[in-house]
Amino acid sequence: MSKIKTAFFCSNCGYESAKWLGKCPGCAQWNTFTEEVLQKGGQQEVKWDGYHPEKKGSRVIALEAVSAGEEKRIVTKDPELNRVLGGGIVPGSLVLVAGEPGIGKSTLFLQNGLLANELVVLYISGEESEQQVKMRADRLKIINPNFYLLTETATQTIFQEIKKLKPKLVIVDSIQTLQSNLIDSSAGSVSQIRECAAEFHRFAKETGTPVFLIGHITKDGAIAGPKILEHMVDTVLQFEGDRHYVYRILRTLKNRFGSTAELGIYEMTGEGMRTVSNPSEILIAQREEQLSGSAIAATIEGMRPLLVEVQALVTQSVYGTPQRTVTGFDLRRLQLLLAVLEKRGGFQFGMKDVFVNIAGGIKVEDPSLDLAVICALLSSYEDIPLPPHICFAGEVGLNGEIRAVNRIEQRIAEAEKLGFEKIIVSQYNRKSFNPKSFRIEIIPLGRVDEVYRQLF
């Protein structure tokens, strides 16, 4: 008999060590190492010969001999999922979908599996029974005769069933519940997650079958399991949003086949996830016209222009240390903008509490948000509402100058489409657009003090 091999794994980041360590060298956490048995051998792996007619052989090939044609994608009936994947599902890709419990991951991919009626789809559930999945499918009111269900957690049994069915799309819910008998440790442990993901990775690449792995996240928002899981997969999608709101955001964190700046927006309904084709209307729908501290920013997320509402509240500090609180915006960026207003504009924010919120629960990292944040802060500081039907697109530099932003024409067109009458942009963006091609009034300005004089 082969000797039983054990190793120590960090339960936080998946760092592997031959002996127990008090502090993890990978993530610097204390007392996170646990011993796990790695009992490999004695088991037969499933061979995929003949499963796929175009199975690639393992041989050396010159780079010039490789055809540079674009990878053929499976276009789903969900335009938001197509967008975040870069145009559709790539055959043989391994996609990890992470999100909080109860956020709607299982509902979204059960719905997408049922909608793909031209493909043979296998939905593997390790968390729910067949009756529970059937109840959810009945609620979605979608019928697909090519949709198959397997409630199993042992990977060897799963692959035997896959070999019989020969599906064109596999959805695993969830990777933390699976268990391989090649590894002698409990389901959900670092070694089990890594081994199960490696088996599905090998299956996807050898057969050209796309696989979606649904995973959980930890309390601090990181994907549960080792960091190596993110390195093994081709695409990592994050499904986020507040459970108390109906809107959900599908965001790309890693994508080998497309942009990582894309996001898809869904609305949670009683009959599943509804795609939101024009999110700008939602993000600014509940805006009060005559209240101070509110400004509209024209941003870009991936290829999609968005108009978002920036809310600011500036009040006199009651305690000695003023507060700086943000939601959906970078706190250090806010401190930088406040310093610019104090130094270049003479506004005294030193003894003021400042709160900034991006309405709708969305997180924005586009630097073009700077100008709208500054205008919202000045509006609340002066307690004067901004003029209605005006929006902003510009980055603010440390000298108080308004810097140019990219793809300004798309931002202007989105503002015009939603009925805005004016947009303030950087004067350095003048060469990037033709003002005569837009009906909206475009106001190019160069400095923050010019914006203040224009508005107040």
Question: Which residue numbers belong to the known binding site?
Answer: 99-106
Instruction: Report how far residue 113's alpha carbon sits from residue 121's, in angstroms, rounded to the nearest whole number.
Output: 6
The residue among 16, 51, 56, 61 whose CA lies nearest residue 35 is 16
Tell me how far apart the alpha carbons of residues 33 and 420 are, in angstroms, rounded to a whole number: 57
Alpha-carbon distance 350 to 342, whole Å? Answer: 8
Determine the Cα–Cα distance for residues 408 and 429; give it in Å rounded to an integer.
7
CB–CB of 377/338 below 8 Å?
Answer: yes
How far apart, in whole angstroms, are the C-alpha atoms of residue 406 and residue 301?
Answer: 12
Q: Rounded distance, CA 213 to CA 217, Å?
A: 13
- For residues 187-219, one letter each, b for 16 or more C-beta atoms within 10 angstroms of the residue's C-beta and e for the rest, the string is bbbbbbbbbbbebbbebbbbbbbbbbbbbbbee
Pairing of strands 441-445, 422-426: parallel
Nearest 5°: the CA angle 367, 296, 104 is 80
Burial of 368 (0-12, 13-18, 19+ CB in 10 A): buried
The three-class DSSP label of residue 357 is strand
Determine the Cα–Cα distance for residues 221 and 223; give it in Å rounded to an integer: 7
Binding-site residue set for ATP: 99-106
Classify 21 as helix, strand or coil: coil
**Cβ within 8 Å of residue 72, ≥6 positions away:** 91
